[in-house]
Structure 1
Amino acid sequence: MSNKTKRDSPLVKSVLALDNYLTELERVGTRINSTDMTSDFDVEYIQNLMNRFTECGKGISEEVTNLSTHLHEAQARAEAVAQGVSGQAELWNIRKNEQNEKLEKFHILGEKVRELNAALSQFRRPQGQGVTNEDLTNEDREKLRSNIPAFEAQLAILIEELQDLRNSARASRMKTLEKNAESLTQSLQAARKKLGGLSPLKTDGGGQN
């Protein structure tokens, strides 16, 4: 708020007017009180001082009333603003809790993805070392065949949960979370497509993708 705006405020004007009246009242009163009424003094001059003192007293009374009115108005405005801020604070708290809940869910899903990746990594065949399906033992093939359906099921669940979180973040206009959830979803979808490549191309009973 600029200084001019402050000066134009009815409350400030009332305070300044009251202060001026008080200052003038003290000045005039001091003049009157310092006059020796038993001496030869200027009666008209003292009369003018008395009139001015009365005017100042009346002005003080009026400005005190005005000030009281302005203070009540200011209090009402402050209470109205405070009520609005209270409502905003409640909405902010709800929004903050909603964000924290969604971020925590994304964190948990991220941990699940890391755990699944760690489990999948034991079946990834080394690259550039000439390792083929024939190099896998029967035990490796059987273990891989038995685990892939579970991995696929976990991937499907994680993808679905991430898509739900992405949609929820979009509805809540949490763009960063929406983007991160979408990115992780795409990574899992790509991993699911590649999961078939982890299976042996040949088994004892025939070919398998």
Structure 2
Amino acid sequence: MRLLVVEDDVRIADVIRRTLTESGYAVDVAHTAPDGVQAFEIDSYDLVVLDLMLPGLPGGGMDVCRRIRLINRDVPVLMLTALDSMRTKVEGLDAGADDYIVKPFHLVELLARVRALLRRSPRAFAPLLHAQGVTLDPATRTAQRAGRSIVLTAKEFAVLEYLMRNAGAIISTSELIDHAWDSNYEGFSNVVQTYIRYLRQKLTLPGEPDIIQTRRGAGYLIAADS
């Protein structure tokens, strides 16, 4: 899944980016309010981590949140701030934030709140994802098929998770790149084909059906359970 972090403190932004990336998310970073709005206007994100005190707009993160809500009412927004007043929290929630975390915070708490927001997102069908005999647990980043554990890299997990969250829909190569890779990716679309091949090799034993279907010229599909 692809996340946007809008944080003006470069050190904090880098720590958050590395933490989220190591947990399997594709992460883009913006350091000003206008850059955050522009990133959201250009690309599609599954969640936004948004600092309150941002340069570039009079209302800082509050203005960014309001503009995000004009573009997309559903994407989860986790607001970060050093201000721990009830008035500030209420204002942030009224501006459209879904959750609020006060600096300094523990990174494990940040990850837990991100996972919780993604579970409540309209894209999230259930805490555990099930399709065609495969079970995926986004909280523990684990996968199973027919009772056996399947070890996936962070990128393999991201690709499989997006396909399973959208089970029953054909997902194009460009859509997978948008949600499983960050904006620094400048490679070719065959990277998706490569990771689909890796997943098929890990998910399928001899005699088992391949759960990832290719729709030539359209993309990839994991059928939804009936």
Coarse TM-score class (shorter-chain normalised): under 0.3
TM (normalized to structure 2)? 0.21
Structure with the greater alpha carbon radius of gyration: 1
TM (normalized to structure 1)? 0.22
More strand by share: 2
More helix by share: 1
